[in-house]
A and B are shown apart, each in its own frame.
Chain A
């Protein structure tokens, strides 16, 4: 479990992280969201001890990261896949990490196989790697020590669709086996598919946190019917405000159960009824972080 308590980090007069508190629990994937420069990476760097906090603390199972005797065996970290000596081969980077942790060399081959880097690729120097290959190598380094906690900053960046699917399965499996995953990403769809809990940060402050279901429940409902106008009217009569989109879908902030009940009593056949999750996370993200977006009134 990762616990972040009242974490603040200032740079001169600028507050990058402002009194941030959250937990990432075992058995769950915690998605860490926020616009560029919101403080995600700074928070993660403080958690792994690369940046000293101005105040507050971050612990892994109650222990400061810097106090872990052999951190690689307990926490897998990938903050920046490109932060490697460009003149080292992929295999060498894994071997150095393996030696540091005191693991048998056979782990290197196991990890290369796990992240699908071929022996030829592993012999190449990292300067010749694509971003996707670097991400795979970074994941391999993070998983090398068979840790219980993973901290990953934008791991899906640069991965091809198959790689993204692979990463998703890997992290879901990791959490399923009782591991803790803290994952930041800009790819909202990716987060939405994979995360169990969400922490949203904007301008260094937490703007929302909780389980994905709770946060998205307020995102409302999307319903389709062969006669959308009738559906909208029926909802209106039931006192539920709704909007009729051009594509014929009806959106409302009420939960799907109520919308279904209204449609049933009005005798309207629904062809689709669901939480409007697809746009939900994006809408939620943009509205929560509207004040902090570079683009101004993006929401």
Chain B
């Protein structure tokens, strides 16, 4: 049996008048990505767990801590601790869900420019980070006032104006690293495991290396991501050299892998 091969006829059917659709504004993309971070069950509970764990963590300082611990710095750190774990995971899932949950098939057909989608995700992640850490400062303040009243000690406000931005930056860099892993690996499980390996296992190895190999001791602050993070959390990144160290670890752990990951992501196939 043979079937005729008929060449397609492009002349039939006048091209319908094009609608004057306008480019999707970036603000809208950011709004949508923010919504997508929390409209799933896992996203919702992640948000709730921040809201619940943060006060509990601050409260535990009241119950378990000594009178001398009742300072704003300690309260901010306590209320911020759950966030430093959960925020990077939120950042990871914001990216990887599109692949692991395959929703990217819809996302990237509605917005074919993947760079814009990832950019919107980055902005949304940043906004979540800013809001969450602000909440940590607020919860810490409430805890500090309540705590000092309960303990009958003077309320100590020992978070300086140079320290507060560093604590903020500490959390944002944590999120940026999670985001980077999400972009580079594009798989939820791998990225989350990668995050904990990089933040729990790698620092130990580098620490050990610095102990046994003298030449590495001076190099460590320039390479060890965790080292500069701790400095930020303590609010002790002050000198130009210390900021340069932070820039160095950020380049190694975030800027470079993110650039490579983005390059692959834009060409990768969405299935």
For residue B114, give the distance in angstroms from its CB to the closest CB of chain A.
Answer: 9
Find out whether the CB atom of A210 lies under 8 angstroms from the CB atom of B39. Answer: no
For residue B13, give the distance in angstroms from its CB to the closest CB of chain A.
Answer: 5
| Neighbouring B residues of A75 by C-beta, 8 Å | 109
Find out whether the CB atom of B105 lies under 8 angstroms from the CB atom of A23. Answer: no
* Closest partner residue, chain A, to B24 (CB atom): A70
Q: Which of A49, A88, A207 touches B108 (beta carbons < 8 Å)? A: A49
Find out whether the CB atom of A92 lies under 8 angstroms from the CB atom of B109. Answer: no
A99 located at the interface, meaning its Cβ lies under 8 Å from any Cβ of chain B in the complex: yes
Please measure, in the bound complex, the distance between the C-alpha atom of A90 and the C-alpha atom of B53, giving whole angstroms: 30
B251 located at the interface, meaning its Cβ lies under 8 Å from any Cβ of chain A in the complex: no
Please measure, in the bound complex, the distance between the C-alpha atom of A208 and the C-alpha atom of B8, giving whole angstroms: 11
Q: A61-B18, A74-B21, A214-B6 are in contact. Are A86 and B101 (CB under 8 A)?
A: yes
Q: A82-B102, A83-B102 are in contact. Are A23 and B9 (CB under 8 A)?
A: yes
Q: A49-B108, A82-B102, A97-B110 are in contact. Are A218 and B24 (CB under 8 A)?
A: no
Bin chain B's interface residue count. 35 or more
A73 located at the interface, meaning its Cβ lies under 8 Å from any Cβ of chain B in the complex: yes
For residue A215, give the distance in angstroms from its CB to the closest CB of chain B.
Answer: 5
Find out whether the CB atom of B32 lies under 8 angstroms from the CB atom of A219. Answer: no
Q: Which of A83, A100, A253 touches B111 (beta carbons < 8 Å)? A: A100
| Residues in B13-50 with C-beta less than 8 Å from chain A | 13, 15-16, 18-19, 21-24, 28-29, 31-32, 35-36, 39-43
B236 located at the interface, meaning its Cβ lies under 8 Å from any Cβ of chain A in the complex: no
| Neighbouring A residues of B101 by C-beta, 8 Å | 84-87
| Neighbouring A residues of B97 by C-beta, 8 Å | 85
Find out whether the CB atom of A209 lies under 8 angstroms from the CB atom of B5. Answer: yes
| Neighbouring B residues of A15 by C-beta, 8 Å | none
Find out whether the CB atom of B108 lies under 8 angstroms from the CB atom of A83. Answer: no
| Residues in B84-111 with C-beta less than 8 Å from chain A | 97, 101-111
| Neighbouring B residues of A155 by C-beta, 8 Å | none
| Residues in A142-180 with C-beta less than 8 Å from chain B | 148, 178
For residue B186, give the distance in angstroms from its CB to the closest CB of chain A.
Answer: 14
**How many residues on chain A are close to B (CB under 8 Å)?**
64
| Neighbouring A residues of B43 by C-beta, 8 Å | 87
Find out whether the CB atom of B102 lies under 8 angstroms from the CB atom of A80. Answer: yes
For residue A31, give the distance in angstroms from its CB to the closest CB of chain B.
Answer: 14
Q: A27-B13, A85-B97, A219-B1 are in contact. Are A50 and B270 (CB under 8 A)?
A: yes
For residue B127, give the distance in angstroms from its CB to the closest CB of chain A.
Answer: 16
A45 located at the interface, meaning its Cβ lies under 8 Å from any Cβ of chain B in the complex: yes
* Closest partner residue, chain A, to B100 (CB atom): A85
Find out whether the CB atom of A96 lies under 8 angstroms from the CB atom of B5. Answer: no
Please measure, in the bound complex, the distance between the C-alpha atom of A141 and the C-alpha atom of B23, giving whole angstroms: 19
Please measure, in the bound complex, the distance between the C-alpha atom of A218 and the C-alpha atom of B3, giving whole angstroms: 6
A36 located at the interface, meaning its Cβ lies under 8 Å from any Cβ of chain B in the complex: no
* Closest partner residue, chain A, to B113 (CB atom): A66
Please measure, in the bound complex, the distance between the C-alpha atom of A200 and the C-alpha atom of B5, giving whole angstroms: 10
For residue B81, give the distance in angstroms from its CB to the closest CB of chain A.
Answer: 26
Pick the most buried of B1, B9, B13, B269: most chain A CB atoms within 10 A of its CB.
Answer: B1
Known: A70-B21, A99-B35. 20 other contacts (CB 8 A): A1-B15, A22-B8, A27-B13, A45-B270, A62-B15, A68-B112, A69-B21, A69-B24, A72-B110, A73-B19, A73-B21, A83-B103, A87-B43, A96-B35, A100-B111, A210-B3, A215-B3, A220-B1, A253-B1, A284-B1
A to B CB contacts below 8 Å, 27 in the list: A25-B9, A27-B13, A49-B108, A49-B109, A50-B109, A51-B270, A65-B112, A66-B112, A66-B113, A69-B21, A70-B22, A71-B109, A77-B109, A79-B109, A83-B103, A87-B43, A96-B32, A96-B35, A99-B32, A99-B35, A100-B29, A100-B110, A101-B24, A141-B106, A208-B4, A218-B2, A284-B1
